């Protein structure tokens, strides 16, 4: 009923990461192209940092799908759930590589042999890890150990981590200092600029076959921009709630009253309004700069 009421083919503001809705309205498009170039270099160990809901998982899935389309060139290992220790890391990679033996003292060696076999047969092996801030020190140390193995064309494994800012604090521990030094680049995923919020909303609606007049009023979009601080997950949540309010009233237009009601009903929206995206970005840039300098 909700979709039919607004003339939509599917939900435009779902909370589930979906590459169909990958939009280049912040620096996500630039980072995607940058990451594609990076995995083709001989030494790739990079991180993409962003706060919750900013689109890291969508970017992770976008990169994963893009590389998987070129199976002759890449062997892609995607870990959507971060390994919590070194044994789980090797087991997850081993499963991706179809290493059949159960984890044991020799399992790590078998995993490395499988990676070497792929490299020897011209495959560039790429490991992508989502929510990497949840990895333990042991898992990160094991990842560092794997990253140090080399083949004739360069590193045996090209690694990209997608993580929340907590990863920076984790890497700052003395025991992980060498891992931080091993990182070749750290990228920050930005919120969507305020002037692009309307375009973001309309493009998602268009992908769901919305036609006709604009669904959201200018005041509703202005309120949405302020309350969301440009965080895509929060934009989606507020837009969905506001549309539900309009649907319940039987109208096909979302105004400022509907959006205000959605904002009042969302604790995180009030929090984001008090903590601007600029202050978060400035903190992240300072952290990345200090990490690069050490």
Report the C-alpha gap between 200 and 219 in whole angstroms: 16
Regions of the chain where pLDDT drops below 70: 1, 101-105, 152-153, 270-294
C-alpha dihedral over 81, 82, 87, 92, to 10 degrees? Answer: 40
Task: Report CA 150 to chain centroid distance, whole Å.
Answer: 28
Per-residue model confidence (pLDDT) at position 10? 92
Q: Please report the pLDDT score of residue 287 as a whole number.
A: 47
Tell me the domains of the chain and their CATH numbers.
2-12+193-278 (1.10.8), 28-188 (3.40.50.300)
Q: Which residues contact 271 (CB under 8 A, 6 or more apart)?
A: none
pLDDT of residue 60: 97
Q: Is 214 left (phi over 0), alpha (psi -120 to 50) or beta?
A: beta
Q: What pLDDT score does 74 carry?
A: 93
The pLDDT assigned to 152 comes to 67
Q: Cα(20)–Cα(34) distance, rounded to whole angstroms?
A: 20
The verdict on pTM exceeding 0.85 is yes
């Amino acid at each position: 009923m909700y979709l039919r009421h607004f003339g939509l083919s599917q939900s435009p503001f779902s909370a589930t990461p979906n590459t169909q809705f990958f939009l280049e309205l912040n620096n996500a498009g630039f980072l995607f192209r940058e990451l594609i170039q990076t995995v083709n270099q001989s030494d790739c160990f990079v991180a993409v940092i962003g706060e919750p809901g900013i689109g890291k998982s969508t970017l992770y899935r976008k990169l994963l799908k893009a590389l998987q389309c070129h199976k002759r060139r890449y062997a892609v290992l995607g870990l959507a759930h971060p390994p919590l220790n070194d044994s789980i890391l090797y087991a997850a990679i081993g499963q991706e590589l179809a290493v059949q033996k159960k984890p044991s003292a020799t399992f790590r060696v078998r995993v490395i042999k499988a990676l070497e076999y792929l490299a020897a047969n011209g495959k560039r092996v790429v490991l992508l890890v989502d929510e990497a801030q949840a990895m333990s020190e042991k898992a990160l140390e094991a990842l560092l150990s794997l990253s140090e193995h080399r083949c004739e064309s360069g590193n045996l494994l090209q690694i990209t981590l997608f993580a929340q800012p907590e990863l920076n604090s984790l890497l700052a521990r003395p025991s992980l200092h060498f891992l931080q030094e091993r990182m070749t680049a750290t990228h920050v995923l930005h919120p969507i600029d305020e002037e692009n919020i309307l375009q973001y909303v309309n493009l998602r609606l268009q992908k769901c076959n919305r036609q006709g007049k604009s669904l959201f009023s200018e005041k509703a979009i202005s309120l949405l921009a302020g309350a969301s601080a440009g965080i895509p997950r929060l934009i989606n949540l507020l837009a969905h709630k506001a549309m539900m309010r309009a649907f319940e009233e039987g109208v096909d237009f979302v105004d400022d009253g509907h959006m205000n009601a959605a904002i009042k009903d969302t604790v995180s929206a009030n929090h984001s309004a008090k903590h601007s995206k600029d202050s978060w970005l400035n903190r992240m840039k300072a952290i990345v700069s200090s990490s690069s300098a050490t």
